[in-house]
Amino acid sequence: MNLPIEFTNRMREMLQEDYEDFAASYERPRKPGLRGNRLKDGVQRFEESGLFGMEEIPWALHGYYYDPAVRPGKHPFHEAGVYYMQEPSAMAVAALSGVKPGMRVLDLCAAPGGKSTQLASLLGGEGLLVSNEIHPARAKILSQNIERMGIANAVVTNETPEKLAARFSVFFDTVVVDAPCSGEGMFCKEPEAIPNWSPANVALCAERQKGILDCAAQMTVPGGHLVYSTCTFAPQENEQNAALFLMRHPDFTLVDLPAALGQAYMEKTGLCPGQPRFAEGIEVPEEVRNALQGCIRLWPHKLDGEGHFVAVFVKNGPSYERRMQAPEPLKDKEAIKLWQAFAKETLSAQGMRRIGGLDTHRAQGTEGLVLFGKELYRMPCAMDLKGLKVLRPGLHLGTLKKNRFEPSHALAIALSEQDVRCSAETEDQKEHVMGDNRLAASYLHGESLMANECSSVKGTQGWCLVTVCGFSMGWGKLTQGQIKNHYPKGLRRPY
């Protein structure tokens, strides 16, 4: 690869005797990765199937290398949100975040959604995930990926870090900052980024990252974690920024990740500690510089993955239990009537529990329901979103039509076949998942299906969840043995 001479000179100085191994890594074939979606019922069957020649990624729970000769993006499981295709090293960020079910989590620089969807899996459907992206076009892609992965407890925003910090001061248990960076760690995967590299751009990125980190610190609760990551090798954007953050925010402490993980784990995975000597160019106390060995470096010559950096800070102070409050009950009686009529006709008892708020013990199912025009959503908790640019204020349930409710694609993807009264399976689950998926492909093209062609059908009429090997792909409408296709036109695959 034709790498900039300033870059190679700096890397030679950084790595010293390891530089030749590093340089040789650019000639080695890369191993792509994907991550099973633990929000999907039955995803274990996929993970154990051997589909795509999968091999476990050692630092990423439910992450797998796959055979680069296959194309997982073309398989119906991709559209069903069974997995997310993600660079293997990038999976380390959420894996090291410490996120657990029930937390309030912010992914501040979230597009295209790899880390957000992984954080959502760690939350397990409980708690709150706010996924933010400042660039509108990228925020739209982020929102689409949140939908495809069936995430019900996520709010997607398109805001500046400063505006979010002003609104959500001391609010989140974990804030993840996968900061915009010079992208040096991705040169092999994205060589088109090489001409844009320069020392000046590295300095510009480092300065921008400081402001983002300061906003993230403001939004972190005492006892909470701030996770900082980049996909660059530059010390200015990594160890040096971590040290300078500690100087600006003495109420934070750097977590010693290598010590927490243990030497055996570090050796097994190929993860490396941060390098205090990379911060020798800045004036910080010796104890701050020494603490930088608590960061994590992922080097492409040490493991099968691209370059990445991770630092986890904990905010000092007494932590305390924070209960999330439910939003005010919806007062639009017509909306409630149409939604509940649809839900009782279409969802099973399990489906009602999964979506929440539909049993008689919870104010007749109105908690969390919010109406934006004719679009009905269920918000995960009470939040003040007024004045913010919001793409997705929670799970999109559907649209209010005249005297009826039309369910959304997002709702279909968030459900399983056990959650509905009517479903149609396009492939016999007893067969190998590498079957030709003819009916699934027809459905994704936008074609209607005949019920007698499906391997199994539950129910006789009404809204029907169309599945592949038990994983939901979208809605159909079953009438007199025919399933009319309701897969969104904008998502349909060309022939």
Rounded CA-CA distance 240/275 in Å is 10
Residue 418's Cβ-count burial label (10 Å; 0-12, 13-18, 19+) is middle
Helix, strand or coil for residue 270? Answer: coil
> H-type helices in 270-308, by residue range?
286-291
Tokens, residue 176: 């993840």
Q: Pairing relation of β-strands 272-273 and 423-425?
A: unpaired
H/E segment holding residue 217? helix 199-219
Q: Hey, what are 308's tokens?
A: 């990445």
Separation of alpha carbons 451 and 242, rounded Å: 59
Q: Choose the catalytic residue: 109, 181, 231, 469.
A: 231
Taking the C-alpha atoms of residue 104 and residue 340, their distance in angstroms, rounded to an integer, is 28
H/E stretch holding 107 reads strand 104-107
Q: Please give the span between the terminal C-alpha atoms of the chain, in angstroms, as a whole number.
A: 37
Cα–Cα dist 93/178, whole Å: 8
Q: Examine residue 68 and say whether the peptide bond preceding it is cis (omega within 30 degrees of 0).
A: no
Element (H or E) spanning 19, and its range? helix 19-25
* Alpha carbon distance 93, 60 (integer Å): 9
How far, in Å, CA of 483 to CA of 475, rounded? Answer: 9
215 among known catalytic residues: no
Would you tell me how many other CB atoms lie within 10 Å of the CB of residue 73? 10
- How far is it, in rounded angstroms, from Cα 482 to Cα 196? 54
Dist CA 304 CA 205 (whole Å): 26
Q: Whose CA is closest to 272, among 314, 241, 237, 233?
A: 233
Q: To which H or E segment does residue 175 belong?
A: strand 172-178
Rounded-to-integer distance, Cα 240 and Cα 280, Å: 8
Residues annotated as catalytic (active site), given as ranges: 231
